[in-house]
């Protein structure tokens, strides 16, 4: 059975021999598409190696695979974070979801659905996180959301 290849909207440049430049380029391009420029700057300062793995491997290799759309990957990631009751990490994914056109209503429906399987308390926590992101301006499409402002928001969200 053939599978349909889906587009993430990120072109995969060829990596240089012996390097991971292509992965990092794809990762940066995807983060820009997700409206997440500046959100990982703190990680870059704390651990350059972890930052390269996050941008290069996670976002450059895993998130740009063609079997799922960017929208599907974002919804799956949020569902996993909600189900696991994560106190950190979800905010930036809510931000990215809103940035790529997933509505607050769709995110609330996802939270309710996942909460039925993951446990009722996950619903309240996830809704508080989503509402904090919406209240802060939601996405880069808000003209006030510069990379520097997003970094400050991210630091506040992750406390």
The verdict on residue 3 lying in a domain is no
Each residue of 71-125: pLDDT tens digit? 999 999 999 999 999 988 899 999 999 999 999 999 999 999 999 999 999 999 9
**Other CB atoms closer than 10 Å to residue 151's CB: what's the count?**
16
The verdict on residue 68 lying in a domain is yes
Residue tagged 């060829």 (tokens): 14
Of 152 and 136, more confident: 136
Write down the mean pLDDT value for the chain: 85
Owning domain of residue 139: 21-157
What pLDDT score was predicted for residue 158?
62
pTM of the model: 0.80
The verdict on residue 57 lying in a domain is yes
Instruction: Kindly report the CATH number assigned to the domain that includes residue 65.
Output: 1.20.1290.10
The verdict on residue 81 lying in a domain is yes
DSSP-derived letter for residue 34 is T
The verdict on residue 99 lying in a domain is yes
In angstroms, the Cα distances linking 32 to 2, 5, 43, 109, 141 are 31, 22, 16, 26, 12
Of 38 and 131, more confident: 131
The verdict on residue 9 lying in a domain is no
What are the residues whose beta carbons fall under 8 Å from the beta carbon of 15, sequence distance 6 or more?
21, 22, 23
The verdict on residue 39 lying in a domain is yes
User: Sign of the CA dihedral 82, 128, 159, 141?
Assistant: positive
What pLDDT score was predicted for residue 38?
82
Count of structural domains, the chain: 1
The verdict on residue 80 lying in a domain is yes
Of 155 and 24, more confident: 24
């Amino acid at each position: 059975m053939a599978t349909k290849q889906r587009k993430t909207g990120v072109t995969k440049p060829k990596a240089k021999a012996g390097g991971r430049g292509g992965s990092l380029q794809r990762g940066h391009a995807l983060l820009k598409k997700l409206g997440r420029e500046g959100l990982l700057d703190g990680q870059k300062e704390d651990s350059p190696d972890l930052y390269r793995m996050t941008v290069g491997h996670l976002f450059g290799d895993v998130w740009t695979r063609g079997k799922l759309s960017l929208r599907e990957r974002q919804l799956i990631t949020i569902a996993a974070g909600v189900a696991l009751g994560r106190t950190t990490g979800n905010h930036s994914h809510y931000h990215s979801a809103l940035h790529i056109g997933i509505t607050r209503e769709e995110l609330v429906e996802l939270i309710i659905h996942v909460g039925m399987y993951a446990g009722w308390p996950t619903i309240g926590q996830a809704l508080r996180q989503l509402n904090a992101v919406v209240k802060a301006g939601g996405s880069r499409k808000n003209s006030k959301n510069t990379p520097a402002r997003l970094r400050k928001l991210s630091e506040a969200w992750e406390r």
